[in-house]
Amino acid sequence: MKKRLEAFLNSALTALKTRGELSAEIEISVQVERARDPRHGDFATNLAMALAKAARAHPRQIAEKIIAALPEDPAIVKVEIAGPGFINFFIDSEAQFSIIRDIHAAGREFGRSTVGAGQAVQVEFVSANPTGPLHVGHGRGAAYGAVVANLLAAVGFNVHREYYVNDAGRQMDILAASVWLRYLEECGETVVFPSNGYRGEYVRTIAWGLRKREGEKFRCPAAEVMADLPPDEPQGGDKEAHIDALVAKTKTLLGPEGYRTVFDAGLDSILDDIQQDLEEFGVRYDEWFSERGLTETQAVKRALAKLKEAGYLYEQDGAVWFASSRLGDEKDRVVVRENGQMTYFASDIAYHMNKLERGFDRIVNIWGADHHGYIARIKAAIEALGGDPAKLSVLLVQFAVLYRGEEKVQMSTRSGEFVTLRQLRNEVGKDAARFFYVMRKSDQHMEFDLKLATSRTNENPVYYVQYAHARVCSVFRQLDEKGWERSLANGMTHLGRLTEPHEAALATTLSRYPEVVEQSALQHEPHHLVHYLRELAYEFHTYYNAHQFLVEDAALRDARLNLIAAVRQVIANGLGLLDVSAPEAM
C-alpha cells in the first residue's frame, strides 16, 4: 500500500509537470510514512511542504493540486490536507484486512521481497583469531552478522557468509609455542610459562591430545628451551621480546615439520571448537577463508605489486609503506616490516583484493567497534586497487557488558578467565542469547543481563513474543478439542465481520511487516524487526484478552481464526529471520 501511494504521488507529480503547473526541474523523492495518530488517517506525506520552497508556493495550495492529480483507487476512501500541509490518506478497511489473504497465500514467503535484485553481497563476520574459544563479545557479532545475512537474503540479495580465519601471524605462533610448553609439561618437564602466552585451560587439553597422538617425539629438555632467552616481564625484562624469542626457539628446536604439527594441533582443535560452537548457535557459513592461503597463493605479493604499480608504495626506514593518507587515511601504513615480514594489514589488503576479484556487488564487514580506526585504511586500499570503496560497508559491533542482576560480570582475557559464548548459551539458551544480542542497535554499548535473559517472567521479551505464537497454536488445539470445524474460505469471505478496533490495529501492524523487513535489511538494523515483533505480540495479547475467538457464530469465528493464523505466520517468519524458535506450546 505504501509503495502504491508513492507510485500514485509520483504520477501526480509528473502530471503536474507536463501540465506546467509545477516546474519540470524540481526533483524530489516522494516519502510516504505511516501516520502515527489514527486521526491523521493511515498514511501521510510531507511532499507538499517539501516542495513549497522550490515551487515558491504555499504548501496547502500545492497539496490541493497534488490531490487533484491523484489517480482514483477504491482502496483510498479519503484524502485530506492537514496541519501545515500534510496530505493524509485514509484506507478502506476492507482493503486493510485483505492483508490476511496475502499472508495466507504467501505463507513462509510473506515478507520476502526482491529489492536486492539478486545482487551478490558478501557478509564477513566474527572472524575471531583461532587462538581460543569464542567469548560473549564474539557472540554479539555472530548473532548480528547472522541476522543481517538472513535479512539481506530475505529481500533478494544473493548472500555469501564468510569467516576469515587468521591462521597465520604472530598470535598463532604464540599459540603454537604455548601448546608446546604445555606439551612439555605433560611430558614431565618443568618450564616457566611466559606471561604473554595463552594460559587458558584449553591449551592444556590440546597439549594432552597432542601427546596422546604423537607420544614424546617433540620432547626437549626444559633447560634447552629456556637457554639464552631474554628475561620475561616478571624478571624485569620485556615480555614481547621474551615471547618472540621463545617462538623462534620453538621453531628451531622442532624443525619445520614438527613445528607445523604442533601449530596445526592448536589451530585445528580451536577451529573445530569455534565451528561447532557457531553451529550450535545457529550460525552457518558458506566459506571459511584461510589467511594462510593468501600467502600460499602469492596473493599478498600480488596485491602489493598492484599497489606498487599504481604508485602507492614507497620505502622508508627500511620498511615498505602504503600511502593511504593520499586516500583519506590519517597516515601512511607499513605493509612490509624492516625485518621483511608482512604486516597483518598486508594480508588484509590481499583479502579485500580477493573479495573484489570474486565480483561481489557489495561487501559487508562486521567488526568489533575497537577496530573503527581500521576502516579508513581498508577503504584506501580498495580504492588504490582500483575498486570502489563505496561497495564496502563496515558495520561495527560494540562489546556487551555482562551483568547478573545488579552485579557486573568481570571479564579478563589476560588471565584466561572470560565468559565464553558456550557458557552463555548453556546459561540462557540459544533463543534468549540471539534475541538479546540483536535487540539493541549494534553500534551501541549494550548491557546483557544474564538474570533477565533466563527469567521466566514478563520481564523477558523473548518469551513475550514466543508466548503469542504458542497462544495462537493453543487456540487451534482448543478448536479441535471442541470438535468444531474451521473453514478457511468461509473466514476469508467474512473478513468484513472484523470490526473491532483491536482487529483493525492488528491488520495494520501485519501489513507493516514487509516494510520492517526491508528497512531492517537495507539499513543493517535487525533491532527494528525485534521491536516490531514485540509490538505485534502486544497487539495480539491485548486482542486475546479483550475478545473470544472460539465463538458460536461460525462466520465471525472463522474470520478471527484467519486473523490470528496470520499473526502466527508473521511471528514465525520474523523469529525465523532471527533464528529464534517459535514454540507451539510453552
Partner RNA sequence: GCGCUUGUAGCUCAGCCGGAUAGAGCAUCGGCCUUCUAAGCCGAGGGUCGCAGGUUCGAGUCCUGCCAAGCGCGCCA
x/- letters, 153..172, toward RNA (CB under 7 A): -------------x--xxx-
Residue from 187, 191, 550, 554 in contact with RNA (CB under 7 A): 550
Question: Which of positions 517-536 make contact with RNA (CB under 7 A)?
Answer: 519, 523, 525, 527-528, 531, 534
Residue from 279, 286, 447, 485 in contact with RNA (CB under 7 A): 447
Residue 49 or 181: the one with the smaller Cβ distance to RNA is 49
Per DSSP, 217 falls in state T
Question: Which of positions 112-141 make contact with RNA (CB under 7 A)?
Answer: 129
Residue 265 or 453: the one with the smaller Cβ distance to RNA is 453
328: left (phi over 0), alpha (psi -120 to 50) or beta: left
Question: Rounded CA gap, 586 and 505, in Å?
Answer: 26
Residue from 54, 310, 488, 546 in contact with RNA (CB under 7 A): 546
Residue from 27, 29, 74, 213 in contact with RNA (CB under 7 A): 29
What is the separation, in whole angstroms, between the first and last Cα of the chain? 35
The C-alpha cell at 419 is 565468559
Contacts by residues 283-288 (CB-CB < 8 Å, ≥ 24 positions apart): 283/126, 283/142, 283/143, 283/145, 283/146, 284/146, 284/161, 285/161, 285/162, 285/163, 286/160, 286/161, 286/162, 287/160, 287/161, 287/162, 287/163, 288/162, 288/163, 288/165
Question: Which of positions 248-307 make contact with RNA (CB under 7 A)?
Answer: none
Number of neighbouring beta carbons within 10 Å of residue 118: 9
Residue from 445, 480, 485, 496 in contact with RNA (CB under 7 A): 445
Residue 108 or 371: the one with the smaller Cβ distance to RNA is 371
Piece of 175-183, 204-212, 227-235, 311-319 that binds RNA (CB under 7 A): 311-319
Q: What is the smallest separation between the CB atom of 553 and RNA, expressed in angstroms?
A: 13
Residue 184 or 313: the one with the smaller Cβ distance to RNA is 313
Identify the residue whose cell numbers are 557479532.
Answer: 141
Question: Rounded CA gap, 17 and 13, in Å?
Answer: 6
Residue from 1, 13, 35, 378 in contact with RNA (CB under 7 A): 35
Q: What is the smallest separation between the CB atom of 473 and RNA, expressed in angstroms?
A: 7
Residue 404 or 531: the one with the smaller Cβ distance to RNA is 531
Residue 221 or 318: the one with the smaller Cβ distance to RNA is 318
Distances from the Cα of 48 to the Cα of 13, 83, 432, 564, angstroms:
11, 12, 45, 38
Question: Which of positions 316-375 make contact with RNA (CB under 7 A)?
Answer: 316-319, 330-331, 334, 337-339, 341, 343-345, 369-374
Residue 86 or 183: the one with the smaller Cβ distance to RNA is 86
Residue from 38, 71, 84, 107 in contact with RNA (CB under 7 A): 84
Adjacent-strand bridge partners of 244: none
Identify the residue whose cell numbers are 604473554.
Answer: 196
Question: Which of positions 372-431 make contact with RNA (CB under 7 A)?
Answer: 372-374
CA angle 233, 211, 207 (to 5 degrees): 35
DSSP 19-78: TTSS-TT------EEE-SSGGG-SEEE-HHHHHHHHHTS-HHHHHHHHHHHSPP-TTEEE
Q: What is the smallest separation between the CB atom of 184 and RNA, expressed in angstroms?
A: 25
